[in-house]
């Protein structure tokens, strides 16, 4: 067994245990394997161990892996910062974008998505950490943005995503995730058919699941430390992008 397949089993066990602890069914929580900075061979190892959904943060790197591994029937999610001059590549090589943070990006993705492809699944990225974070839309601005995005053709608004500020304070983390969930519940109460709360990573997936996560995005716990020797050179190549 490769270490990637052993790690994947470990993460699946963590998800199952977290679900059991809060009375949820493990099938309610999907695992997105975050493969940024790792070569296609590592993704292929994870795919051989049964993992289907992969997350990428950098456009060129992600598109290269999508093309290299196109025969494996994988589902690709774009989860990194997205500039408007790179939307066309993302619109046509990925099935999901979790990091939509303004209407212009959603409009470009909608317009550029090839008409013969199924709708592109989108999540809006929310800043749930106030001053402690710079990425994502302010919670107060989400309802207006969501109403505009949900009306676009070619895309399907699925839900919300957040990356809380790094903290060891579990109750603060829980509060951040709960902010995202309440915002999502308010949109659903308006009649939007949202089914996705993308929250939780290697260090905090249990807290996120307890607060309602439906997709956890896990990199390090599956592939290892991105700064590790052997991956470092690859990491260095990413510094300028985005």
Among 7, 35, 57, 196, binds ligand PLP (CB under 6 A): 57
> Would you call 58 helix, strand, or coil by DSSP?
coil
> Would you call 116 helix, strand, or coil by DSSP?
coil
Q: Which of the stretches 11-19, 110-118, 149-157, 200-208 binds ligand PLP when contact is defined by CB under 6 A?
A: 200-208
Q: Does 220 bind ligand PLP (CB under 6 A)?
A: yes
Residue 147 to residue 145: CA distance in whole angstroms: 6
Residue 162 to residue 179: CA distance in whole angstroms: 10
Indicate left, alpha or beta for 119 from its phi (over 0: left) and psi (-120 to 50: alpha). Answer: beta
Q: Does 200 bind ligand PLP (CB under 6 A)?
A: no
User: Of the two residues 57 and 129, which places its CB atom closer to ligand PLP in the complex?
Assistant: 57
**Which helix (DSSP H) or strand (DSSP E) does residue 103 occupy?**
helix 103-112
| Phi, then psi, of 121 in degrees rounded to 5 | -85, 130
CB 114 → ligand PLP: shortest distance, Å? Answer: 25
CB 153 → ligand PLP: shortest distance, Å? Answer: 27
Rounded to the nearest angstrom, the gap between the alpha carbon of residue 239 and the centroid of all alpha carbons in its chain is: 20
CB 99 → ligand PLP: shortest distance, Å? Answer: 7
Number of other residues whose CB lies within 10 A of the CB of residue 178: 15
CA torsion angle 216 222 223 227 (round to 10):
70
CB 202 → ligand PLP: shortest distance, Å? Answer: 3
Q: Does 24 bind ligand PLP (CB under 6 A)?
A: no
Binding mask 157-186 for ligand PLP (x = CB under 6 A): ------x-----------------------
Residue 183 to residue 177: CA distance in whole angstroms: 10
CB 125 → ligand PLP: shortest distance, Å? Answer: 8
Among 68, 202, 231, 235, binds ligand PLP (CB under 6 A): 202
Point out which residues bind ligand PLP (CB under 6 A).
Answer: 34, 36, 57, 79, 163, 201-203, 217-221
């Amino acid at each position: 067994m490769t270490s990637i397949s052993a790690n994947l089993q470990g993460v699946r066990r963590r998800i199952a245990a977290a679900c059991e602890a809060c009375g949820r069914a493990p099938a309610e929580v999907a695992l997105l394997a975050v493969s940024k900075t790792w070569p296609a061979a590592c993704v292929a190892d994870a795919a051989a161990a049964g993992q289907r959904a992969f997350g990428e943060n950098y456009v060129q790197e992600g598109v290269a892996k999508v093309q290299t591994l196109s025969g494996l029937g994988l589902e690709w999610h774009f989860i990194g910062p997205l500039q408007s001059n790179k939307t066309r590549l993302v619109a046509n090589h990925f099935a999901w974008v979790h990091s939509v943070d303004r209407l212009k990006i959603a409009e470009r993705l909608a317009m550029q998505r090839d008409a013969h492809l199924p709708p592109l699944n989108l999540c809006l990225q929310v800043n749930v950490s106030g001053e402690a974070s710079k990425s994502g839309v302010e919670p107060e601005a989400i309802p207006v943005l969501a109403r505009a995005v949900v009306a676009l053709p070619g895309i399907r608004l699925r839900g919300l995503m957040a990356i809380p500020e790094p903290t060891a304070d579990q109750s603060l983390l829980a509060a951040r995730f709960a902010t995202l969930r309440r915002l999502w519940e308010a949109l659903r109460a308006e009649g939007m058919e949202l089914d996705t709360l993308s929250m939780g990573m290697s260090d905090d997936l249990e807290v996120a699941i307890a607060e309602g996560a439906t997709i956890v995005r896990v990199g390090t716990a599956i592939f290892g430390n991105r700064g590790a020797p052997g991956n470092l050179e690859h990491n260095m190549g990413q510094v300028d992008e985005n």
